[in-house]
């Protein structure tokens, strides 16, 4: 199977990374962990980004209640179903991005004997929150220094920030050329660009983005499809929701989730802890800030600016950052602007695809 081949290739790569005496830090893929600091410490940030399936979800259910986000449950299950890959992780970074992440990291650290390092993010944007964020990143830096036994110098941190900014600039160029050329890359192809980062790190991602950007100049625009924006929950590796959407004749031209290129449209403005704090605290598209009314205003503006024909809003079932108020705000914001939209709530790996197919068919008929 393709996914088995992908995992085998990643295992080989991670082993090569460890031969260079790099420490592998596992981080939940959808969090806001500042990879720049990990990179500056000489570590390798590895995104826990596999979707899993029914088996891994059931196994994860032995650690967490079934009313917990399926991504969290599947991630725990993967530690038992993909032991050759996950045993390469030396430490795990625990964030407070959502309840599912907090619970999953605690279970993984305890039951699989993996040391954990914590980092806490504020859920507001004001002067005191920024001060807290700066202090928290300083503590995170100190924890990494203690764990690795090496000091993180100002030059190392600056170099790491510049590297990650270079990747973001390439992502922004791809997004720009995409729009200029009529969105020749499908949503699936764009998502694969980010998967490269999740599994192989920032340097491999930069090389891949440069190649893709060069090839993109020769591609023709998408024709005969309904252009839609994809927002809400991200799509872990192995979840086929975008494939199902695009097989129905839709074309995802904007992906505003953590698995979308459009998520990475800002840069760190100062090569320092303070610059990182300002960058991460202003990550408006993140679930941590998704209750902000600005999120929905930006969603409407993105829809208007991109000339999309509809919006698909995806929610992973039991996701703690998407309570019922989100659905109400979504419907109010988009209905007021008469924007066609489809809201999908799904427990991937469990919900039959036939149910989703019916929803997508009904949405498609709205345009006919």
Is residue 287 included in any domain, yes or no? no
Which phi and psi angles does 220 have, rounded to 5°?
A: -90, 160
- Look-up: residue for tokens 């600039």? 169
Domain membership flag for residue 143: yes
As given in the structure block, the two tokens for residue 91 are 């430490």
Question: What is the DSSP secondary-structure string of 58-117?
Answer: HHHTTTS-TTS-HHHHHHHHHHHH-HHHHTT--EEEE--S-HHHHHHHHHHHHHTT--EE
What DSSP element (H or E) covers 47? Answer: strand 43-48
Q: What is the dihedral of CA 301, 258, 129, 321, to 10 degrees?
A: 90
In a domain, 62, yes or no: yes
Q: What domain count does the chain have? A: 1
Residue 52 within a domain: yes
Q: Collapsing DSSP states into helix, strand and coil, what is residue 197?
A: helix
Tokens standing for residue 174: 């791809």
Give pLDDT, residue 286: 53
Three-state DSSP class for residue 324:
helix
Going by C-alpha positions, the residue among 47, 26, 32 that lies closest to residue 280 is 32
Supply the pLDDT for residue 110: 94
- Judge whether 73 and 65 are in contact, CB under 8 Å: no
Q: Is residue 73 part of a domain?
A: yes
β-bridge partners, 47: 27
CATH of the domain at 62: 3.40.50.11890
Residue 80 lies in a domain: yes
- What integer pLDDT is reported at residue 350 of this predicted model? 52
Query: Can you tell me whether residue 153 is helix, strand or coil?
Result: coil
Q: Say if CB 73 and CB 312 are below 8 A apart.
A: no
Cβ-proximal residues to 300 (8 Å cutoff; 6+ apart), any chain: 333, 334, 337, 339
Question: Can you give the residue range of the structural domain that contains 9?
Answer: 2-152
Give dist(CA 253, CA 210) in Å, integer. 20
The pLDDT score that the predictor gives to residue 56 is 85
End-to-end CA distance of the chain: 37
Is residue 118, in this structure, part of any structural domain at all?
Answer: yes
Q: Is residue 275 part of a domain?
A: no
pLDDT for 1 equals: 43
In sequence order, which residues have a C-beta less than 8 Å from that of residue 249 and are 6 or more positions away? 224, 225, 226, 364
Tell whether pTM > 0.75: yes
Which two three-digit tokens encode residue 26? 């596992």
- Asked whether the beta carbons of 92 and 22 are under 8 A apart, the reply is no
Two tokens, residue 353: 């695809």
- Residues ≥6 apart with Cβ < 8 Å to 179: 253, 306
Q: Give per-10-residue mean pLDDT for the chain (368 aa).
A: 77 94 90 91 94 83 85 89 90 86 90 93 87 96 96 97 97 94 94 95 97 90 90 88 93 93 91 95 61 76 91 83 68 84 78 80 86
């Amino acid at each position: 199977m393709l996914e088995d081949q992908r995992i085998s290739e990643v295992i080989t790569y991670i082993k090569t990374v460890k031969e260079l005496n790099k420490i592998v830090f596992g981080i939940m893929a959808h969090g806001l962990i500042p990879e720049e600091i990990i990179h500056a410490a000489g570590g390798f940030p590895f995104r826990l980004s596999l979707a899993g399936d029914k088996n891994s979800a059931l196994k994860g259910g032995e650690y967490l209640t079934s009313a917990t986000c399926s991504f969290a449950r599947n991630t725990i299950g993967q530690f038992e179903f993909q032991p050759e890959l996950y045993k390469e992780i030396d430490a795990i970074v625990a964030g407070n991005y959502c309840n599912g992440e907090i619970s999953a990291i605690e279970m993984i650290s305890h039951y699989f004997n993996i040391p954990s390092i914590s980092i806490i993010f504020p859920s507001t944007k004001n002067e005191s929150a920024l001060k807290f964020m700066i202090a928290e990143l300083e503590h995170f830096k100190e924890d990494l220094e203690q764990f690795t036994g090496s000091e993180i110098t100002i030059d190392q941190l600056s170099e790491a920030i510049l590297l990650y900014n270079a990747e973001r600039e390439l992502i922004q160029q791809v997004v720009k050329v995409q729009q200029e050329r009529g969105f020749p890359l499908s949503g699936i192809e764009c998502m694969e660009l980010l998967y490269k980062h999740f599994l192989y790190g920032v340097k491999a991602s930069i090389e891949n983005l440069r190649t893709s950007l060069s090839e993109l100049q020769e591609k023709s625009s998408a024709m005969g499809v309904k252009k839609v924006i994809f927002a809400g929950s991200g799509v872990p590796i192995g979840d086929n929701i975008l494939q199902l959407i695009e097989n129905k004749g839709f074309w995802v031209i904007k992906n505003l989730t953590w698995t979308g290129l459009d998520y990475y449209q800002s840069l760190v403005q100062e090569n320092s802890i303070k610059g990182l704090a300002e960058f991460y605290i202003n990550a408006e598209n993140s679930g941590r800030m998704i209750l902000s009314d600005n999120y929905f205003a930006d969603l409407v503006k993105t829809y208007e600016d991109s000339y999309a024909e509809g919006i698909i809003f995806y929610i992973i079932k039991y996701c703690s950052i998407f309570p019922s108020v989100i659905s109400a705000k979504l419907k109010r914001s988009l209905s007021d602007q008469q924007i066609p939209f489809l809201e999908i709530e799904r427990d991937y790996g469990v919900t039959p695809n036939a149910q989703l197919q019916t929803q997508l068919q009904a949405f498609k008929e709205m345009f006919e």
